[in-house]
Amino acid sequence: MTTAHVALLGAVLSLGTASAAEFRANDFGAKGDSVTVNTAAIQNALDAAGKAGGTIVFAPGTYLTGSLFLKSGTHLRLDKGVEVRGVREQSAYPILPTRVAGIEMEWPAALINVYEQSGVTISGEGAIDGDGKMWWDAYWKLRAEYEPQGLRWAADYDCQRPRLIQIYKSANVEVRGLTLKRSGFWTVHICFSTKVTVDGITIRNNIGGRGPSTDGVDVDSSSDVLVENCDIECNDDAVVLKAGRDADGLRVNRPTERVVVRDITVRAGTAGITFGSETSGGIRHVEAYRIHVLPSVPMGIFFKSARTRGGTIDDVSIHDVDVRGATTAFRIEFNWYPNYSYAKIPEGRTNVPGYWLVLAQPVPPEKGLPRLRNVRIANLRATGVQEAFSVGAYPQAPLRNLTFTHIDIQARRAGAIQNAQDWKFEDARIQTADGSRVALKNSRGVTGLPGN
């Protein structure tokens, strides 16, 4: 049993159960008619349950609402036939302090918020629908305006899109069984929190379009987290571990640690499991296994960062991964997406938002280089992929102590590994259609790599 497993066992056992007292939202005036805006009525039910430690329930129907805030010791239960749907109105999502894409700033609240609370459960066979296309369209419009100005990096921060569920500075939280769809931005964001379980959710963010940046589950500077039994279709990272961006992330310096991710099916997204690109606070003590990556997903396992991020990814075990038809089976890219990763305010720009200045704050080179070490990959099977490896970092910060055991990759080409130090391959098979072998560049201590 890994360090992550031991910690999570204690965390799960410590979770309390919600009271049997039920508060029916309809008794507070909520109407599931797909027309009435029920924000105040549902919030009144949530507040009443918070005083008694109860469960909030609904009659079948579709309930339009803006941001809702759950209280400690409560259970929001959405039974089969119940859907909570976000309204298409920016003002329905109040601005609050939070963290967004690695920096602390003010941002619209999520549709469902567990904000500085404890002992909260959100569960059921029902659905939460962000109705996100309005925000998707606004984002693409802003991107089109910003990119010619050299402001690609600012678009994700300036287009303020509500997340679907945020768990922020909270503890002992469970999200179970729900269908989550059409999020305006990230779907489940776990930030500065501890002892959180996400179990058995279905994410569908490509209904009626491909929602940009609609990550599935983001574990962000949080600890003792279990993500399991999830079926994900999104348009960015499916399950991703993060820990802050650049100067602001280094200032906060809070790691993501003791995380288990297991039994995940990724139907659409960037990769089966992703680390970064926000690595500044460090990511450590992680186990991910039984990850199933379907053919529309570009990558199997993906580590990403940038030369201004800093932070160390350490003690990671990934095993029993099945990758089908991806572009790349295993990728490390530590100069990821420069137009997004490196913020530079154009000359002559004045009266810019304060968070632009935070994003553009210089990071000393000795603090900015991300590091990766002590990663174990076992029982990785990849078929029909274009490339086996695409690995690159920095000569001053080589990728250290990676072990690949029982891997079988069938690819069109082998790809390349550079800046590796002390990598070990055991029982590794890499078959390539073009007969190529993995190219080693600026690496040392690599043993057992087939054909090398």
pLDDT in tens, 225-276: 999 999 999 999 999 999 999 999 999 999 999 999 999 999 999 999 999 9
Q: Is residue 277 reached through a cis peptide bond, with omega within 30 degrees of 0 on the bond before it?
A: yes
What average pLDDT does this structure show over 273-280? 98
Task: Give the model's pLDDT for residue 6.
Answer: 46
Closest CA to 226 of 194, 195, 260: 260
Q: Cα–Cα distance between 39 and 36 in angstroms, integer?
A: 9
Q: Cα–Cα distance between 200 and 230 in angstroms, integer?
A: 5
Global confidence as pTM: 0.95
pLDDT in tens, 341-384: 999 999 989 899 999 999 999 999 999 999 999 999 999 999 99
Helix (H) or strand (E) holding 194: strand 194-199
Question: Count of alpha carbons within 13 Å of 176, Cβ hemisphere only?
Answer: 13
Task: Give the model's pLDDT for residue 13.
Answer: 38
The structure tokens listed for 73 are 């010791």
- What SS3 class is residue 45? helix
Helix runs in 173-253, H state only:
246-252
Q: What is the mean pLDDT of the chain?
A: 95
Strand residue runs (E) in 311-353 = 312-324, 328-333
Confidence class of residue 209 from pLDDT cuts 50, 70 and 90?
confident
Q: Cα–Cα distance between 288 and 377 in angstroms, integer?
A: 10
What average pLDDT does this structure show over 81-94? 98
Q: Given a cut of 50, is residue 1 above it in pLDDT?
A: no
Return the minimum-mean-pLDDT range out of 11-25, 197-211, 257-271, 297-311. 11-25
Higher pLDDT, 18 or 297: 297
pLDDT in tens, 36-79: 999 999 999 999 999 999 999 999 999 999 999 999 999 999 99
Task: Give the model's pLDDT for residue 65.
Answer: 98
pLDDT in tens, 290-345: 999 999 999 999 999 999 999 999 999 999 999 999 999 999 999 999 999 999 99
Residues with Cβ within 8 Å of residue 126, at least 6 apart in sequence: 58, 78, 79, 80, 81, 82, 83, 84, 178, 179
Q: Given a cut of 80, is residue 12 above it in pLDDT?
A: no
- Domains recognised in the chain with CATH numbers: 3-441 (2.160.20.10)
The structure tokens listed for 254 are 């809070």
The residue type found at 172 is: N
Task: Give the model's pLDDT for residue 16.
Answer: 43
Q: What angle do CA 60, 196, 163 make, to 5 degrees?
A: 60
First to last CA, the chain: 34
User: Scanning the structure block, which residue is given the tokens 């995380």?
Assistant: 259
The structure tokens listed for 153 are 């990096």
User: Scanning the structure block, which residue is given the tokens 């010791």?
Assistant: 73
- Using an 8 Å Cβ cutoff, are 378 and 319 in contact? yes
Cα-to-chain-centroid distance, residue 62: 27
